[in-house]
Amino acid sequence: MGGAIARGLVKGSVFKAADIICTACSAETLEKMRAVSPDFTLTHDNKAAARAADIIILAVKPWRIEEVTEEIRSSLDFNRHVIVSVAAGITFDQLHTFLTKNMECDGITPSPVVFRIMPNTAIAVSSSMTFVSARNASPEQTKLIVDMFNESGNAMLIEERLMGAGTALASCGIAFALRYIRAAVEGGVELGFYPKEAQEIVAHTVKGAVELLLANKSNPEAEIDKVTTPGGITIKGLNEMELSGFTSSVIRGLKACK
Ligand SMILES: NC(=O)c1ccc[n+]([C@@H]2O[C@H](COP(=O)([O-])OP(=O)(O)OC[C@H]3O[C@@H](n4cnc5c(N)ncnc54)[C@H](OP(=O)(O)O)[C@@H]3O)[C@@H](O)[C@H]2O)c1
């Protein structure tokens, strides 16, 4: 995920590769980043990277966040640093506790600027639906982080309480959309197409449906109405799918993974 974010950032206009420092445990991962851009600064030294950066993106597994924040804490300057966590399920309260451990002075704990972001796997092709939540951030800092992730697809600012719902809809949602595609491909084979042809047909049909919605800013039902001739075959197909629980299955699946 960290690599995908860096790849997205260099394609955009907010940062240049020379502005980006990548850290990892293995030389192999850093070599992969070297292949993306020779201008990245690559290091295994998280503390030095944190000291040199203004924005620190924590993109390790959730159970590693505490250990990494412990490692870089002495390098943090909360007047300057903006911390961005990609870790799923690690809350602002937890991040605050990890970042400010033993930093209480005269009963006052510092208030670091922290963002939580939740991209999906389509960030690898700059088409992520990314959620952003902010704590202690100014409007300018928030705009910068939203702009950063708009360059890798589409970014939306939400309250932290909606992160779980956003994850279900957009991160798990990629799998749900793909499962529809798989089902339609299997149906296409039954109707007489070879699997490769069926996949090409379904992928482009779904892409067309999405582009219609985005271009027309319309409601899905309005686009469906344009296809459903009274007494025609589309409405017969839709009604058959609904009889098998199509809409309720999708809603139940979304609610189950929240
Ligand atoms: N994958 C997704 O779809 C997705 C979606 C949304 C959010 N997320 C979040 O993104 C985060 C990363 O997930 P991932 O799937 O990208 O994990 P990953 O493939 O395991 O990558 C983690 C990276 O962190 C590096 N790393 C581990 N410990 C480190 C340390 N102490 N210092 C510096 N680098 C260290 C690893 O380096 P090496 O390669 O050298 O071991 C690796 O490159 C997770 O918190 C996850 O919740 C993931």
Q: Which of 158, 190, 209 is the last residue of a domain?
A: 158
Residue nearest atom 9 of ligand 1, based on CA coordinates: 87
> How confident is the model at residue 124, as a pLDDT?
86
Distance from residue 62's CA to the centre of ligand 1 (Å): 8
Indicate the number of domains in the chain: 2
The secondary structure of the chain as a DSSP string is -HHHHHHHHHHSSS--GGG-EEE-SSHHHHHHHHHH-TTSEEES-HHHHHHH-SEEEE-S-GGGHHHHHHHHGGG--TTT-EEEE--TT--HHHHHHHHHTT--BTTB----EEEEEE--GGGGGT-EEEEEEEES--HHHHHHHHHHHHTTEEEEE--GGGHHHHIIIIIHHHHHHHHHHHHHHHHHHHTT--HHHHHHHHHHHHHHHHHHHHHHT--HHHHHHHH--TTSHHHHHHHHHHHTTHHHHHHHHHHHT-
Ligand 1: nearest atom to the Cα of 1: 16
With a pLDDT cut of 70, the percent of the chain lying above it is 100
> How confident is the model at residue 97, as a pLDDT?
94
Report which of 52, 107, 102, 59 is spatially closest to residue 77, judged by C-alpha positions. 52
Ligand 1: nearest atom to the Cα of 27: 40
Buried b (16+ CB within 10 A) or exposed e, 112-125: bbbbbbbbbebbbe
Q: Which of 158, 177, 194 is the last residue of a domain?
A: 158
Question: How high does pLDDT run on average in the chain?
Answer: 95
- Tokens 């940062």 belong to 15
Q: How confident is the model at residue 103 (pLDDT cuts 50, 70, 90)?
A: confident
Distance from residue 64's CA to the centre of ligand 1 (Å): 9
Predicted confidence (pLDDT) per residue in 202-239, tens digit: 999 999 999 999 999 999 999 999 999 999 999 999 99
Residue nearest atom 23 of ligand 1, based on CA coordinates: 60
Single pTM value for the model: 0.92
Q: How confident is the model at residue 191 (pLDDT cuts 50, 70, 90)?
A: very high
Arithmetic mean of pLDDT, 40-47: 97
Distance from residue 3's CA to the centre of ligand 1 (Å): 9
Q: Are residue 41 and residue 124 in the same domain, yes or no?
A: yes
* Domain carrying residue 233: 168-257
Residue 78 above 80 pLDDT? yes
Ligand 1: nearest atom to the Cα of 28: 40
> How confident is the model at residue 258, as a pLDDT?
77
Long-range Cβ contact pairs of 181-189 (< 8 A, separation 24 or more):
181/206
Is residue 87, in this structure, part of any structural domain at all? yes
Least confident span in 53-57, 120-124, 172-176: 120-124
Is residue 163, in this structure, part of any structural domain at all? no
Q: Are residue 154 and residue 179 in the same domain, yes or no?
A: no
Distance from residue 88's CA to the centre of ligand 1 (Å): 11
- Ligand 1: does its nearest atom lie under 6 Å from the Cβ of 32? no
Q: Which residue has the higher pLDDT, 164 or 109?
A: 164
Distance from residue 167's CA to the centre of ligand 1 (Å): 17
Kindly report the CATH number assigned to the domain that includes residue 183: 1.10.3730.10
- Ligand 1: does its nearest atom lie under 6 Å from the Cβ of 130? no
Distance from residue 217's CA to the centre of ligand 1 (Å): 35
- Ligand 1: does its nearest atom lie under 6 Å from the Cβ of 118? yes
Predicted confidence (pLDDT) per residue in 114-149, tens digit: 999 999 999 989 999 999 999 999 999 999 999 999
